Chains A and B, each alone.
Chain A
Amino acid sequence: MIELSKLPRELIAKLAEKGIAESDIKMCVRSDMNSDGVYCDNWLLVTEDDLIVIGGIKTVTPKKRLLGRMPDQSFVAAAAESERAGKGPAGAVKRMLRKYREAKSRVIYDFEQISYQYYPLANLKNFFIEELISTCRLCATMLDDENAKLEAERVERARAERKEREEREKRLAEAIRRAIEEGRPMPEVEKEENKQGFQQPEIKGEVVLITRFTNACRTDMRLFVKYINRYHETGELEFDEEDKKQELFCPKCGQRYADPERKICPRCVDKGKIIARFATFFAKYKAYVGISLMMLLLSSALGVIAPYVSSGFYYDQVLDKNGKFYGELLLVLGIVVGTRLLSMFISMVMGWVSAYISAHVVYDLKKVIFGAIERLSISFFTGRQTGGLMNQVNRDANNIYWFFVDGLPYFLVNIIQAIVVIVLMFMMEFWLTLLAVVVFPFVVMLIVWLFDHAEKLWAHQYSRSRELNSMLSDVLTGVRVVKAFSKEKREMARFKAHSDELANADRTLRRFENTAYPATSFLLYVGNIIVWLVGGWKVIKGEMTYGTLLVFVSYMNMIWSPMYFFVDMTNWASNCLNSMHRLMEIMDAVPEVAERENPVRMPNMQGRVTFRNVSFSYDKNRKVIDGISFTIEPGQIIGIVGHTGAGKSTLANLLIRLYDVAEGEILIDGVNIKDIAFEDLRKNIAIVSQETYLFSGTILDNIRYAKPDATYEEVIEAAKIAGAHSFIMKMPDAYLTRIGFGYKDLSGGERQRISIARAILRNPNILILDEATASMDTETERQIQAALSKLVVGRTTIMIAHRLSTLRDADYLIVIENGKMPEFGTHAELISKKGIYYNLYRLQLEALRSIGVAE
């Protein structure tokens, strides 16, 4: 069973009453509303032939209420007694007794049904989700019996065809593999017929609403739609590996992940495991870590000894007449200075060692992360902002750095010292220590509260200052608009309001800090006062030496001073954990587009490109490409036209596998591109895209990027074809002109020409020009096209453009609209069809005519 949501036991029991066994259910999912929009538990269950929608409320009878209905305890006890005696209570008592026992252990759930609906699956096709604002609705097309029969026949035919084709392709892939192994020429690919057969006859039906649900169920519902539609087409209901991989629930506690993209369950994050994983970065520097730890221990020990020597020992043994070292000032001061020097030396060594380790660890960390980032598919980057990502990585790495270098060692030293000192204090003066430590829990509680409150105030102040800043930058960037509408006064007022709020927030924060922190210090001081008072009294009575008292006081301060630090440590640690987690996600992210193991090598492609029923969407909901099929024969030029955002560039991205198709397949020379080695795929295909990106460096470097070993002559040839040579030669440094940030700025057309040259130099078998000439004037475009048209002979070329004149040389034109392909054919064919292409053509022609340029 595909259990998209966990089927509760209560429902299974309910279904059994209706004669539906758990084993009959092939797929189930929960939606949180029924078709009337009532918030409840609504279950969609798929059996062999039916879809059952059962809505209900999970009723909970808590233990207490159940117990209320129980007979009094003595009766229960008597009944239990009679049971033990082997008499056995009567039916009613027995049931009650059982319920009572259950109630003792848990709460009783029941599923109270409020709606029930049933649909024969044969009559439902094309499930889809309509997203409203906070809710969505699941709809499907309902066919009447006659159409359902037609549809069943169509599905039957399609299944048979698919099976046959798959077998044929398998044979072909095998043949190619063998041909390459044995060094024979490539086998001929049979031509695909039915080029025009991509349009299926429409089977009419009526849209019905199956259920509603809030956005919370969207992910599950999308999977449900995917599988149920597939079930309709193929008759199979198998859970895909990729969806299995995309676990939606925490394996430990079974709760849903907050963000399916970010698999952390805040309840069961294994902190130990994360820290252990990052600790491996330190493992390489074992020796240094060892030294560092030793130094840590030494400095803790010195920290404890130092006050003893400098105060206790000094007063009691050196200054006191009865002391063993009375008068030996120099000796003792020597010891004091010695320990100081030693501790200075230790802290210096610690600094060196930790600087060494941390610099290397951060370097290693960034290397691993950058490596992981490079491995990932493009969708990883489009999902987040790349600049933000790098910033985040840097910040996270630094967070970890500071935690391990600054936070952890300091924390360890202080914690060890504090424990040792407290033990020592108890050994020295048990009751006095107890008295002094009495304030301890209060201070800790107070500090925790202070931090909480201060954090709130800080957050408040931070958000106010962020608002002010964003308002300021907003107004300053838009100063033209402000002036044009003469809204200076309004903006001033807005600024004043924001500024006042920030000032208020600031004032509250400072006032709090300036009262709270002295107050805590005073509380700590109370502890000291107690020690001075009781200790002083003891010294006067002669029960304690003056030196011991001094040691005592300095020990107290040793516990108190890192107090703030301890309390803040939890914050610091959780920040660091968060950073580690984020980095771990990047390290563990799996590339979505992955090369197959043992891929087919195709060093030299013929260039037959086939799209078969290709569908694709960037965000899983809106289909950008929807069931597109076409074939380009080797050496053909094909033009793709359509409105902006129709999905033209997406086709190119799919062909070079920046993304993988969601449904259908793309074949090159009869081989699925998912089976082709990345290296061969990208060596054979070159793309000049709309967004030209030139790296900073010389023009030569940029052109040669595709083929680093190209000769100067090849570079010049490529530049000439691309129409770049003449403007490059006008620059003082010609091909060695530096471009990029802070250097020569090129115009859009110039950049495009350089990137065309880059693609040409690659000498690909398949060339994709995605609006490659859009930023050029028509004359330059013509020139480049004249040169290109000689180049593209024998190469499969895909040209994407919305300016139709660009596509004059195309053998075939594909019209894309809303992800679909309504028209396909030669220019003449499409004109005579009087459809979308004809309209586009007419509009562009009219535009020319209106300025007096009739063709």
Chain B
Amino acid sequence: MSDSRKSEANNRPASALRDVVKIVKLDDEVAAGNAVFYKNKDFLALRAKLENENGEREEKNWDRVFLHRAFPFDDPYEYISVLDKDQNEIGIIGDLRNIEPNMRKLIEEELERKYYTPTIKAIKQIKERYGFSHWKVETDIGPLQFTVQDTYRSIIRVTSTRLFVVDMNGNRYEIPDIHELDRKSYRMIELYL
């Protein structure tokens, strides 16, 4: 490579990732008045004026949108993808806390329903039989019973103290802090930590 070409390459600033791809931030769009989340009967709907490929704004209506957390276990209110009914992404809500309270409530409600996760308050019993473990727990919605297959692998350890138990149907149960559990409950789950 000749010297002149080398210097030319050096002079050109490297492009940042954000110059290459664009994340449609729906929270910003809502703030700018370009997007409105609303309730269409039992579904969450979105009406928005977003930029299309050519950079022009175009108003569109989605009477059913889906929400999907990009980092579900970390911060439940950040980076929520909004998808249409064919699962194509419309945009991302960067931080739900930026959205005005009424709309935010709608979105939170939808998230709450989608990621329905009872919190385990106490463990009454874990019985291991034939490769399944049968759990009897006390949760925030009352006593529950469920069955877990391949117990060790069905526990998502988010941190060393925060766990999610996934039962064989795919339902999730959260233990926000294992040290908050009473001693008896802790003893029972200790084996799987």
**Complex interface residues of chain A between 5 and 58 (CB less than 8 A to chain B):** 33, 35, 37, 39
- The reply to whether A259 and B172 form a contact with Cβ atoms under 8 Å apart is no
CA gap between A33 and B114 in the complex, in Å: 12
Given A258-B168, A259-B168, A456-B190, residue A132 in contact with residue B113 (CB < 8 A): yes
Q: How far is the CB of B11 from chain A (nearest CB, A)?
A: 27
Complex contacts, B169 vs chain A, CB 8 Å:
214-216, 218
The 3 closest A-B pairs by CB, nearest first: A209-B42, A215-B169, A132-B114
Complex contacts, B129 vs chain A, CB 8 Å:
266, 574
The answer to whether the Cβ of B186 comes within 8 Å of any Cβ in the partner chain is no
- The reply to whether B132 and A134 form a contact with Cβ atoms under 8 Å apart is no
- The reply to whether A463 and B172 form a contact with Cβ atoms under 8 Å apart is no
Interface code A412-434, partner B: CB below 8 Å = 1, 0 otherwise?
00000000000000000000000
Q: Would you mind naming 16 contact pairs between A and B with Cβ atoms under 8 Å apart?
A: A37-B109, A39-B142, A132-B114, A133-B172, A135-B114, A207-B63, A208-B41, A214-B116, A215-B167, A218-B170, A258-B149, A259-B147, A266-B127, A463-B152, A578-B130, A581-B130
CA gap between A33 and B63 in the complex, in Å: 23
- The reply to whether A215 and B130 form a contact with Cβ atoms under 8 Å apart is no
Complex contacts, A208 vs chain B, CB 8 Å:
41-42
CA gap between A215 and B146 in the complex, in Å: 11
CA gap between A266 and B181 in the complex, in Å: 28
**Complex interface residues of chain A between 244 and 266 (CB less than 8 A to chain B):** 258-259, 264, 266
CA gap between A264 and B132 in the complex, in Å: 10
Complex contacts, A264 vs chain B, CB 8 Å:
130
The answer to whether the Cβ of A459 comes within 8 Å of any Cβ in the partner chain is yes
The answer to whether the Cβ of A360 comes within 8 Å of any Cβ in the partner chain is no
The answer to whether the Cβ of B191 comes within 8 Å of any Cβ in the partner chain is yes
The answer to whether the Cβ of B71 comes within 8 Å of any Cβ in the partner chain is no
The answer to whether the Cβ of A612 comes within 8 Å of any Cβ in the partner chain is no
- The reply to whether A259 and B149 form a contact with Cβ atoms under 8 Å apart is yes
A134's partner among B109, B131, B134, B171 (CB-CB below 8 A) is B171
Other A-B pairs, 20, CB within 8 Å; known A208-B41, A259-B168, A264-B130:
A33-B116, A37-B113, A39-B142, A132-B114, A132-B115, A134-B115, A135-B114, A135-B116, A208-B42, A209-B42, A212-B113, A215-B167, A215-B169, A215-B170, A216-B167, A258-B147, A258-B149, A266-B127, A266-B132, A459-B191
- The reply to whether B191 and A460 form a contact with Cβ atoms under 8 Å apart is yes
- The reply to whether A134 and B41 form a contact with Cβ atoms under 8 Å apart is no
CA gap between A207 and B129 in the complex, in Å: 43
Interface code B138-155, partner A: CB below 8 Å = 1, 0 otherwise?
000110001101001000
Size class of the B contact interface (CB-based, 8 Å): 35 or more
CA gap between A581 and B131 in the complex, in Å: 11
User: Which B residues are closer than 8 A to A by beta carbons?
Assistant: 41-43, 63-64, 66, 72, 109, 112-117, 127, 129-132, 134, 141-142, 146-147, 149, 152, 167-172, 190-191, 193
Please give me the residue from chain A that is nearest to B42 by CB atom.
A209
Q: How far is the CB of B69 from chain A (nearest CB, A)?
A: 8
CA gap between A266 and B130 in the complex, in Å: 7
Interface code A204-245, partner B: CB below 8 Å = 1, 0 otherwise?
000111001011101000000000000000000000000000
Complex contacts, A269 vs chain B, CB 8 Å:
130
Please give me the residue from chain B that is nearest to A574 by CB atom.
B129
- The reply to whether A266 and B134 form a contact with Cβ atoms under 8 Å apart is yes
CA gap between A459 and B149 in the complex, in Å: 17
Complex contacts, A39 vs chain B, CB 8 Å:
141-142
Complex contacts, A218 vs chain B, CB 8 Å:
169-170
Please give me the residue from chain A that is nearest to B131 by CB atom.
A578
- The reply to whether A134 and B43 form a contact with Cβ atoms under 8 Å apart is no
Given A35-B42, A37-B116, A208-B42, residue A456 in contact with residue B191 (CB < 8 A): yes
Please give me the residue from chain A that is nearest to B149 by CB atom.
A259
Most buried by A among B43, B64, B170, B193: B170
Given A264-B130, A456-B191, residue A215 in contact with residue B42 (CB < 8 A): no
Complex contacts, A33 vs chain B, CB 8 Å:
116
Complex contacts, A460 vs chain B, CB 8 Å:
191, 193
Interface code A252-285, partner B: CB below 8 Å = 1, 0 otherwise?
0000001100001010010000000000000000
Given A39-B141, A208-B41, A264-B130, residue A214 in contact with residue B191 (CB < 8 A): no
Q: How far is the CB of B173 from chain A (nearest CB, A)?
A: 9
CA gap between A212 and B127 in the complex, in Å: 30
Complex contacts, B113 vs chain A, CB 8 Å:
37, 132, 135, 212
Complex contacts, B64 vs chain A, CB 8 Å:
207
Please give me the residue from chain B that is nearest to A218 by CB atom.
B169
CA gap between A37 and B112 in the complex, in Å: 9
Interface code A109-146, partner B: CB below 8 Å = 1, 0 otherwise?
00000000000000000000000111100000000000
B171's partner among A215, A259, A463 (CB-CB below 8 A) is A215
Q: How far is the CB of B172 from chain A (nearest CB, A)?
A: 5
Complex contacts, A212 vs chain B, CB 8 Å:
113
Please give me the residue from chain A that is nearest to B173 by CB atom.
A134
- The reply to whether A209 and B41 form a contact with Cβ atoms under 8 Å apart is yes
Given A215-B170, A218-B169, residue A133 in contact with residue B115 (CB < 8 A): yes
- The reply to whether B191 and A134 form a contact with Cβ atoms under 8 Å apart is no
Complex contacts, B117 vs chain A, CB 8 Å:
134
Complex contacts, B170 vs chain A, CB 8 Å:
134, 215, 218
Q: How far is the CB of A761 from chain B (nearest CB, A)?
A: 45
Complex contacts, B147 vs chain A, CB 8 Å:
258-259
Q: How far is the CB of A468 from chain B (nearest CB, A)?
A: 15
